[in-house]
Amino acid sequence: MPARNASRTSSLMNDITPNPDGASAQPPLEKAPAELASPSSAAGGLKAVGQTVRFAVGLMGVKRGVTSLLKVNQKNGFDCQSCAWPSPDGDRHVAEFCENGAKALADEGTRKRVARDFFARHSVSELASQSDHWLNAQGRLVGPMILRAGAAHYEPIAWDDAFALLARELHALASPREALFYTSGRTSNEAAFLYQLFARQFGTNNLPDCSNMCHESSGAAMSAAIGVGKGTVKLEDFDKADAIFIVGQNPGTNHPRMLSSLQKAKRSGCTIVTINPLAEVGSRRFINPQEFKNPFTAIPALLGIGGDLSDLHLPVRINGDLACFRGLIKEMLEAEDRRRGSVLDRDFIQEFCSGFEDFADNVLATEWPAILETSGLSREQIREAAGIAMRSKRTICCWAMGLTQHENAVDTIREVLNFLLLRGNIGRHGAGACPVRGHSNVQGDRTMGVSEKMSDAFLDRLGQEFEFEPPRWHGFDTVNSIKAMAEGRARFFFAMGGNFLSATPDTEFTARALRNCRLTAHVSTKLNRSHLVTGEIALILPCLGRSEIDTQAGGAQFVTVEDSMGIINSSRGHLWPASEHLLSEPAIVAGLAQATLGDSSKVPWAELSADYDRIRDRIERVIPGFENFNERIRSDVFHLPNPARDRREFRTATGRAAFHTSALSAPSATTGGRFVMMTIRSHDQFNTTIYGLDDRYRGVFNGRRVIFMNAGDMADCGLVQSQFVDLVNRHGGRERRARHFQVAPYDIPRGCTATYFPEANALVPIDTVARISNTPASKSVRIDIEASADPEEGLRLLSAE
């Protein structure tokens, strides 16, 4: 790629024409081309430090920014608003944060405000014409707002009036089944527990959450295979591992603090294998900013030398992971046949596992040509990776959305578990399964009962504690909630955090579904596109941020979160709230519950929201593992029990870990178009929150509508770098089109492409989902690439400037 043109304007010209409904569901077009440069040579380093300072100081000021950073992920501070990677149980670094965590903090702690006059100046249609980056950059929401039926502008509303309106609309529904209560992964344990309790007292199990769109496939696969839907490693296990396989994950952008753990493991002699279509710089080379304080390591760090992480990269085709692991396992079984007892942990398999013989026969019967064709790998690459696995006594497998968002995702993850079970790598120090959760408390929300299908045992304890009979029928998950709204079976949508429209698949279909509601409401800290594509009536309910002081009638409060490894951490904000009109999430839930349920509920909502210790007392009595909750969390962090990890107890139907047999076949999502597309994040975003317009690790600056392609595919299609194209998905006979994307050559397998979400979510079909988990198949989208109707448009506009 050519060198970056630093003089090019940083402004974007947006297509501001609204759709016929008055508010654009998709982000507007970018008319100024992005600047394409060479990818970074290493993750972290001085640039990460510079970006940390730029965001924290630029948005918060020097004193507020620095003091706040020193509270992130500290035991006397607050848990990072970003990813769920754990912090050490014991002593922690003074700077226990990464660049993207600093961006998340600065984004929440910004001094900018979206006051009442902002909405008076800007109609909903005008706001929808702006980019997601622009919307987020306007600042913190400071008071509840309402968009009345037929109105063009939001206007202020008092909290009591908002709760009364919500209650009236809920009571006007034909059935509680018409109400949906969505949860984002940033919601605290205390708020999530109250939230699911209110929904069930109201009479519904419609509790879709962001987990439905990310690690639902992991939970389904792991629960069936080892009897627990959570990972089986602790942070300390990375120090003891002989081999770590990182699969379908980009730690450098999505979980940057993980790089320090990988670096430490590498220096202890661990071998690291990455399996991913893109050769991500964060998995290849890392300059640890924490080491700048050491004069012996500061010089090479400042020079940008860094240290290698990955020993072997396997560039699988998109969704070639099942075939890759089938190949690894086949190599291992064939080696075992040549010398019995040299590869497999037969004692572990005999004592703890079931289904091994059928599984092994199925693997050995799989032909190598099918494995190589489907994976896109060579026999030599698979043999080298299998050799690493066979030499390792302690192996960890980490994965993220690159595995979970395919139609065959559950089968793929169970194949990873098969790989671990072969050598007894479950329930062993330095080994195990590590699904890396994306949002800070998405795992905790599920533990607290936010799910459309909680177990009868949980519902029994909940009903006994609060003296009511919870509904037993299974509610709607995220995909089925969208379909229910579209079909008129759900008319009330309430979101506890998140940006539902932008996070979900099939953007235009989801927008029509939301517009079909009587009322949509969002508990939020910042403005986003979900506030602009609404039901007949819409509410914005602004809440406290995690970094802010939470004072209730019972005094100063703290909340708790559960990280990706099942550790419960306390979180205490220290910044003054952005507005006196903000309520905490527990207070919002309590206010809604009191207005809706009144005297029909025996739950002391006001008492619980006044003192979160009382919520934790109730959690303790309902959810196993939280014994002496208040006492333990005040003294330190603590781990929730994990039978598979702690004592090799597998709570499956047979009481044993189960080998799973599956067919090696491409999912139906990979039919219908010439290329397979996966959605990814840029380095300047977290989930759907856009902090900036650069992705420096991949060499993209000042733009987001980019499609990464193999250079050979570009040549075959007659495409050149920076050419504008339209991306089209025609699944199910319906055309989904995302316009005006800029072609960028990249190191990616032939036939594979990658684009940023939420811009490309419009191409993800609503009915293309993972079997069993119902997770959208956002990493397996078949597309055609067509020249834009006006390919010279971008250059003409830039010239006109």
The per-residue pLDDT for range 221-235, each reduced to its tens digit, is: 999 999 999 999 999
pLDDT at 200: 98
pLDDT band of 62, cuts 50, 70, 90: very high
Contacts of 380 (CB under 8 A, 6+ apart): none
Q: Tens of pLDDT along 165-213?
A: 999 999 999 999 999 999 999 899 999 999 999 999 999 999 999 999 9
Least confident of 69-83, 312-326, 689-703, 782-796: 782-796
Q: How many other C-beta atoms lie within 10 A of the C-beta of residue 763? A: 25
Band of residue 300 on the pLDDT scale cut at 50, 70, 90:
low
Q: Please, what is the Cα angle at 742 between 132 and 765, to 5 degrees?
A: 65
State yes or no: pLDDT of 12 exceeds 50.
no
Tell me: pLDDT of 438 over 90. Answer: no
Cα(799)–Cα(801) distance, integer angstroms: 5
Domain ranges within the chain, ordered by starting residue: 35-39+668-800, 51-212+441-639, 216-435
Res 667: pLDDT: 47
Residues of the chain with pLDDT > 90: what percent? Answer: 85
CATH 2.60.40.10 fits 35-39+668-800, yes or no: no
d(CA 634, CA 622) in angstroms, rounded, equals: 20
Question: Mean pLDDT, to the nearest integer, of 705-729?
Answer: 97
Q: What is the arithmetic mean of pLDDT over 590-616?
A: 98
- Residue 665 confidence (pLDDT) above 90: no
- Do residues 415 and 329 make contact, with C-beta atoms less than 8 angstroms apart? yes
CB 608, CB 618: distance < 8 Å? yes
Residue 302 confidence (pLDDT) above 70: no
Distance of CA 56 to the CA centre of its chain: 23
- The answer to whether 408 and 777 have CB atoms below 8 angstroms apart is no
Beta bridge partners of 726: 786
Query: For residue 389, what are its two tokens?
Result: 């696995």
What pLDDT score does 298 carry? 47
Write down the pLDDT at residue 11: 29
User: Quick one: pLDDT at residue 41?
Assistant: 87
pLDDT (mean) for 560-576: 96
Answer whether residue 669 shows pLDDT above 50. Answer: no
Cβ within 8 Å of residue 164, ≥6 positions away: 595
Among left, alpha and beta (phi > 0; psi -120 to 50; other), residue 296 is alpha
* CA-closest candidate to residue 551, choices 575, 568, 570: 575
The band of 19, judged by pLDDT with boundaries at 50, 70 and 90, is very low
* Model confidence band, residue 794 (pLDDT cutoffs 50, 70, 90): very low
Average pLDDT of span 53-80: 92
pLDDT classification of 745: cutoffs 50, 70, 90: very high
pLDDT range class, residue 24, cuts 50, 70, 90: confident
Model confidence at 521, pLDDT cuts 50, 70, 90, reads very high
Please report the pLDDT score of residue 137 as a whole number: 97
Q: Calculate the average pLDDT of the chain.
A: 92
CA distance 480 to 489: 10
What does the pLDDT look like over 372-411, one tens digit per residue?
999 999 999 999 999 999 999 999 999 999 999 999 999 9
CA-atom Rg of the chain in angstroms: 25
Distance of CA 638 to the CA centre of its chain: 24
Question: Residue 46's pLDDT is what?
Answer: 85
pLDDT tens for each residue of 596-606: 999 999 999 99
What does the pLDDT average to over 664-668?
64
pLDDT in tens, 103-117: 999 999 999 999 999
User: pLDDT at position 788, please?
Assistant: 87
Q: Which fold would CATH assign to domain 216-435?
A: Dimethylsulfoxide Reductase; domain 2 (3.40.228)
Average pLDDT value for residue range 620-637 = 98
CATH, domain 51-212+441-639, list 3.20.20.70, 3.40.50.740, 3.40.470.10, 1.10.1270.20: 3.40.50.740
For the segment 576-592, the average pLDDT, to the nearest whole number, is 98
Torsion of CA 375, 380, 383, 389, to 10 degrees: -80
Q: What's the pLDDT band for 92 if we cut at 50, 70, 90?
A: confident
**What is the average per-residue pLDDT within 320-336?**
98
pLDDT at 420 over 80: yes
pTM attached to this predicted model:
0.94
* Average pLDDT value for residue range 320-325: 98
Band (771; pLDDT cuts 50, 70, 90): very high
**Strands annotated E in 185-335:** 243-247, 271-275, 285-287, 307-308, 312-314
Among candidate residues 791, 770, 798, 597, the one with its CA nearest the CA of residue 212:
770
Nearest Cα to 642, choosing from 248, 349, 237, 260?
237
Query: In the predicted model, is pLDDT for residue 629 greater than 50?
Result: yes
pLDDT at 342 over 90: yes
